[in-house]
């Protein structure tokens, strides 16, 4: 049995089923991201693990203990919220130690633990400050320290970075991951930001309409999406109208494409390809070559993003900027190339 085992979890509000037969085993020390659009059920799953919502059916087990009907205060899980949720009338040290005080931890032990947590988040000199004296990033670090102070069995993070600006968000997400690894704590992170999930997760659960459409490590979710929704939600995707001819063969505009794996389909299908798998012109190791016409050129500094019409649709691809090679002009005829090993047939 996994350290955290979520089995057949369901949640309905009236006639609205917001979580449907959700199953997820989580190993100790894993960092799991629940990724999906607003309303997909990811926060509801998190709230059920925390004990803020009672499942309609299903079971939540942590370290062998069934906690499905156990009160939040008895679960020993840490929660980090989107909106900091710090007490404005308490100092940083008092905020971090609040849960320990409620739990009846003695003063000396409590102060030692608070000092340890403030050192961990890099704010040992802010113990006497109040939340209004801190930046947003500092406040969220304090919220993390408060969640970790009671040594929870599982750390739950509900979109904790969405209120921060982009640069602070990237820095803090890396700090959270480093601290999680250092402590070896099991963590579930809710986000709608695909880059965030891809960059810090051991595994990602992509949710849609209350259902876990795919569970896997980031490289698998990105490179081998199981459904059309996952393929389109995670990253930029090129799709071609193709005809499946059995085995691992399809054709695009009459050009044969040999895929890495059998697709088990015949007739019209959608063939998917990530932009980085496409090259402008003929390239070594990319056996599929299609005529193309450049429709858009966007200069982004180190990268030039092109959009070309090829294979009956629009194809996005990136090329590196080179000072001695100007980008192709809009309207020019060219070729694009890719390998069938990088393409997949979409389902769902």
Give mean pLDDT, residues 66-73.
93
pLDDT at 140: 92
End-to-end Cα, the chain, rounded Å: 31
Token readout for 279 is 């090259």
> Domain locations in the chain?
4-229, 236-345
Torsion of CA 61, 62, 67, 72, to 10 degrees: -140
Tell me whether the CATH fold assigned to 4-229 matches the one assigned to 236-345. Answer: no
pLDDT at 232: 87
pTM, whole model, 2 decimals? 0.88
pLDDT at 94: 95
Instruction: Decide: 258 and 248 in contact? Cβ < 8 Å.
Output: yes
- 151-205 pLDDT per residue, tens: 999 999 999 888 788 888 899 999 999 999 999 999 999 999 999 999 999 999 9
Distance CA 105, CA 97 (A): 9
- Banded pLDDT at 347 (limits 50, 70, 90): low
List the CATH code of the domain at 236-345.
2.40.50.100
List the CATH code of the domain at 4-229.
3.40.50.300
pLDDT at 228: 85
Q: What's the sign of the alpha-carbon dihedral 167, 203, 271, 209?
A: negative
């Amino acid at each position: 049995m996994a350290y955290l085992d979520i089995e057949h979890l369901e949640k309905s509000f009236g006639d609205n089923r917001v979580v449907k037969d959700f199953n997820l085993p989580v190993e100790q020390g894993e960092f799991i991201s629940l990724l999906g659009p607003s309303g997909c059920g990811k926060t509801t799953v998190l709230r059920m693990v925390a004990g803020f919502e009672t499942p309609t059916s299903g079971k939540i087990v942590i370290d062998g203990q069934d906690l499905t009907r156990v009160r939040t205060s008895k679960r020993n899980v840490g929660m980090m919220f989107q909106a900091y949720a710090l007490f404005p009338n308490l100092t940083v040290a008092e905020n971090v130690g609040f849960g320990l005080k409620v739990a009846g931890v003695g003063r000396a032990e409590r102060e030692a633990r608070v000092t340890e947590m403030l050192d961990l988040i890099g704010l040992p000199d802010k113990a006497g400050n109040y939340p209004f004296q801190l930046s947003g990033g500092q406040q969220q670090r304090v919220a993390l320290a408060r969640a970790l102070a009671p040594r929870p069995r599982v750390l739950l993070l509900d979109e904790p970075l969405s209120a921060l600006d982009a640069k602070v968000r990237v820095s803090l997400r890396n700090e959270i991951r480093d601290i999680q690894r250092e402590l070896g704590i099991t963590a579930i992170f809710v986000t709608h930001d695909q880059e965030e999930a891809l960059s810090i997760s051991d595994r990602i659960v992509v949710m849609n309409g209350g259902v876990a459409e795919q569970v896997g490590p980031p490289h698998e979710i990105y490179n081998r999406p199981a459904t059309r929704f996952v393929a389109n939600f995670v990253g930029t995707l090129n799709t071609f109208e193709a005809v499946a001819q059995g085995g691992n063969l399809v054709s695009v505009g009459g050009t044969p494409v040999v895929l890495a794996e059998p697709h088990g389909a015949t007739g019209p299908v959608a063939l998917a390809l990530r932009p980085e798998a496409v090259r402008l012109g003929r390239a070594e190791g990319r056996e599929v070559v299609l005529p193309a016409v450049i429709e858009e050129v966007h200069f982004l500094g180190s990268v030039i993003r092109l959009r070309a019409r090829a294979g009956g649709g629009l194809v996005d691809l990136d090329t590196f900027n080179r000072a001695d090679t100007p980008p192709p002009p809009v309207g020019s005829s060219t070729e694009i190339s890719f390998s069938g090993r990088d393409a997949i047939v979409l389902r769902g």
